[in-house]
């Protein structure tokens, strides 16, 4: 069978199973993006962009950072990010996926164990797939399961460094793990706790610095810049030796064109906004609390209420997409999430409480969804 015929058949199968994806234009109120503070199209970052252009910050880098692509704007961002997030050193890359891929494929050695939550992001899995470290998954948000998996590995002869990989807010569940318990396990085992802060950055912790900055163990963290910070890129933070190793050995960093210095300037402005404008985080928390209260008031089924990400788990793919379309028809940009992004039988609406909606609009969304679920279960 020719490749085109095979791929056409694959796409037809996806359509029949209600799993076909397509790029859709922006329409309706933003309950779909990760722009949690509303910075992406804000005057704050627009002004920062104008100022960066005025002082001659380049729009492109022209090459990898180990060639001619390195720029003072990158280095300024890394120094400021390390100070802001409380780390010894930082490394700015083109995106969170690239950064996760780089650290998991580069830092663990062949004799090491990467002990990871079963729901860590696809980028972490991709890094583990191409890396050398041994891997073990543990049940979601379960430190006891992690401890048992680690004990089994040790009993089987494992002697290397242990890396414990978790997220601080999970992108599809919206839940928060017991980080203190994982930090305790890491400290007990002399392990390194790797925390993906992608969906906590800008929303949780002091000044929006996330959850990982003051954990009592060795921590390597990732903060993405295209979600709460409203810009683009990803920043890995940790001990200087870790960052130097990534610079010297991480193929996703070495062989990639550097992020535009202009993009680094925008991230710098976003971090400064978090420092100077505590109301940004306070407003995000207010919206989250209001959304949780409305979901409880209307008894929306299948919800997890721990963060700005609220999944409404409906189960069947077709049911999920039908309700997503109905919400879109009513002016709410809500997307349906299906396997393989989530496990089979757990298709869901992913409600994202962004900085682009008001309390009243949040109430309208939940009331509309509640009516839909009653009229068309």
**Catalytic residue list:** 34, 121, 167, 171, 196, 199, 227
Q: How far is CA 180 from CA 114, 137, 184, 320, in A?
A: 19, 19, 6, 35
Give the count of beta carbons closer than 10 Å to the beta carbon of residue 56. Answer: 7
Whole-angstrom distance, CA of residue 13 vs CA of residue 319 = 18
Contact criterion met (CB below 8 Å) for 327 and 29: no
Whole-angstrom distance, CA of residue 210 vs CA of residue 219 = 13
**Which residues neighbour 221 within 8 Å (Cβ) at sequence distance 6 or greater?**
85, 87, 194, 195, 196, 197, 210, 212, 213, 236, 237, 238
Comparing CA positions, the residue from 135, 120, 128, 221 lying closest to residue 173 is: 120
Decide: residue 1, CB within 10 A, 0-12 exposed, 13-18 middle, 19+ buried: exposed
């Amino acid at each position: 069978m020719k490749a085109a015929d095979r791929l056409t058949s694959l796409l037809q199968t996806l359509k029949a199973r209600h799993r076909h994806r397509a790029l859709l234009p922006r329409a309706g109120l933003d309950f779909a993006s990760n722009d949690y503070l509303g910075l992406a199209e804000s005057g704050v970052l627009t002004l920062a962009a104008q100022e960066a252009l005025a002082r001659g910050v380049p729009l492109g880098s022209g090459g990898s950072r180990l060639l001619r692509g390195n720029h003072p704007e990158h280095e300024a961002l890394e120094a400021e990010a390390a100070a802001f997030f409380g780390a010894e050193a930082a490394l700015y890359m083109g995106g969170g996926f690239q950064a996760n891929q780089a650290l998991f494929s580069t830092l663990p050695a062949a004799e090491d164990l990467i002990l990871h939550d079963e729901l860590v992001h696809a980028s972490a899995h991709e890094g583990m797939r191409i890396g050398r470290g041994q891997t073990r998954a543990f049940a979601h948000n379960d430190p006891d399961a992690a401890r048992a998996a680690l004990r089994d590995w040790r009993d089987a002869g494992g002697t290397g460094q242990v890396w414990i990989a978790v997220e601080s807010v999970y992108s599809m569940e919206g839940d928060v793990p017991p980080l203190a318990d994982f930090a305790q396990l890491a400290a007990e085992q002399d392990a390194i706790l790797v925390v993906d802060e992608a969906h906590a950055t800008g929303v949780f912790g002091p000044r929006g610095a996330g959850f990982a900055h003051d954990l009592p163990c060795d921590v390597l963290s990732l903060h993405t810049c295209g979600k709460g910070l409203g810009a683009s890129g990803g920043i890995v933070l940790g001990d200087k030796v870790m960052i130097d190793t990534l610079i010297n050995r991480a193929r996703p960093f070495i062989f990639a064109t550097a992020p535009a210095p202009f993009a680094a300037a925008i991230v710098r402005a976003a971090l400064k906004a978090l420092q100077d404008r505590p109301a940004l985080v306070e407003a995000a928390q207010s919206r989250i609390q209001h959304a949780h209260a409305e979901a409880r008031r209307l008894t929306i089924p299948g919800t997890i209420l721990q963060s700005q990400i609220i999944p409404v788990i409906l189960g069947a793919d077709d049911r999920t997409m039908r309700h997503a379309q109905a919400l879109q028809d009513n002016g709410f940009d809500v997307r349906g999430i299906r396997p393989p992004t989530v496990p089979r039988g757990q298709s869901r609406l992913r409600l994202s409480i962004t900085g682009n909606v008001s309390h009243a609009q949040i109430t309208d969304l939940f009331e509309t969804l509640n009516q839909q679920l009653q009229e068309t279960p």
